[in-house]
Amino acid sequence: MQITKVGTNVGARITGIDFGAGLDDTTIEEVAQALFAHQIVCIDAAAMTPDQHLKLAQRFGALEENKTDQFGDHPSIPQITVIDSEAGHTASMWHADETFLENPPLVNLLHGKQIPETGGDTAFISAALAYEGLSPKFQELLDGLVAVHDYGHLYEQGWQRGAELGPMVGDALTKGLIHRHPVVREHRETGRKWLTVNPVYTRFIQGVTKIEGQMLLDLLLRHMQKPEFGFRHHWREGDLLIWDQQAVQHYAVNDPSERRVVHRISALATSDTYVGVLD
Ligand SMILES: O=C(O)CCC(=O)C(=O)O
Ligand SMILES: [Fe+2]
């Protein structure tokens, strides 16, 4: 197995895994350590089976079953979510997945099944580099703060754009999918600090006034857009793209020249995954 950096600060490519020979625990552990070191890894995985996709994902946590209407279901494997541009699936906004949950997905593993000639990249920003790029005084201020993440926030933004919204709006309003997270968490495996706030789900910062919280969020979300914190993956068929949501946020660039289909498995945080869990 070879690991080659593809970005200076974030991103690596892994080649040489022989999926035909099975997927042993040592290989899985090497992939996990490469992920924690590089935050995003892409594996040459044209020969990977769905069972191997599941096995690799299980290294990182319990697997989520797709329950959104944003993406599609796999015909036989409930842990695989199908993201198909022809079905209108897209996530063209900066976000970390489902941070309105107490234990959101922390590692995503996307397998490129049908890849367009051009477009359809997945873009990333490193929330760890973004934290490290702040001044020590500002880091100190953020370290003690807690933010509220709310599923309904996504839908409010949809209404504000005048969008047609599906049946999940009712869920967003009635199920109270809302949770607090520290603005800064420590990565469980690396100890690096990262920023948890994201433009899609973070509604406000607790313990400061509305205007102070809005100012802080605007500032952080602008700061995070700095190109030096970023990385952009241009897909090839068979790529297995894995990212660590304790380190990065992502954006599915919605410009595929042809149909784009990727299969996603998400591994969820567990209650002891997070350092700095709220009581
Ligand atoms: O389609 C992609 O590249 C990413 C979609 C997404 O936001 C996700 O899988 O969580
Ligand atoms: Fe996502």
Site to probe by mutation for ligand 1, drawn from 93, 259, 262, 266 as the one with most ligand atoms within 8 Å of Cβ, is: 262
Which positions ≥6 away from 114 have C-beta within 8 Å? 237, 259, 260, 261
Residue 211: band (very low, low, confident or very high) from pLDDT cuts 50, 70, 90: very high
Residue 215: band (very low, low, confident or very high) from pLDDT cuts 50, 70, 90: very high
Q: Which two tokens stand for residue 140?
A: 């100190």
Q: Does ligand 1 have an atom closer than 6 angstroms to the CB of 40? A: no
Residue 156's pLDDT is what?
Answer: 79
Q: Does ligand 1 have an atom closer than 6 angstroms to the CB of 106? A: no
Q: Does ligand 1 have an atom closer than 6 angstroms to the CB of 83? A: yes
CA distance 107 to 244: 5
Q: Does ligand 1 have an atom closer than 6 angstroms to the CB of 108? A: yes
Q: How far is residue 274 from each of residues 16, 196, 208, 268, measured CA to CA in Å?
A: 32, 11, 24, 11
Of residues 249, 15, 235, 242, the one with CA closest to residue 128: 249
Handedness of CA 63, 66, 125, 146 (dihedral sign): negative
Indicate the pTM of the whole model. Answer: 0.94
Q: Is a pLDDT exceeding 70 seen at residue 169?
A: no
Q: Where are the domain boundaries for CATH 3.60.130.10 in the chain? A: 2-125+229-268, 127-223
CATH of domain 127-223: 3.60.130.10
Q: Whose CA is nearest to atom 2 of ligand 1?
A: 252
CATH of domain 2-125+229-268: 3.60.130.10
pLDDT tens digits, 19-43: 999 999 999 999 999 999 999 999 9
